Amino acid sequence: MSPQKLASRKDYEALVGKYDTFLFDCDGVIWHGSKAVPNIQSTLGMLRSRGKRLIFVTNNSATSRSDYVTKFTKLGIQAAVEEIFSSAYATAVYLSEVVQFAPEKVAY
């Protein structure tokens, strides 16, 4: 199936109405370097005002989720630590929940 072009407000409304949760990559979608992408605050605010769940994903494993919250705040974007999923966090959840890796064990 080829991507659908959103050409009108009606198209955008239909897209937003169709989903309960929206996932956003951080680097390059939410921000470029240290600057927020234009209009991202209002876009995320609109989604939140409609009761949509937001999840922010990143493959950057060097930054903690709490440090990401700090960056979001500096950019004027509301985000909770529970909404942020980095590759490091995803790995930790996988090891804990799927593999049931004992917390006192060490992995390399």
Three-class DSSP category at 60: coil
Q: Which residues pair with 23 in a beta bridge?
A: 55
Tokens 């999840």: give the residue. 55
Instruction: Catalytic residue, from 11, 20, 25, 27: name it.
Output: 20
Catalytic residue flag (residue 20): yes
Give the integer Cα–Cα distance in Å for 97 and 15. 33
Catalytic positions: 20
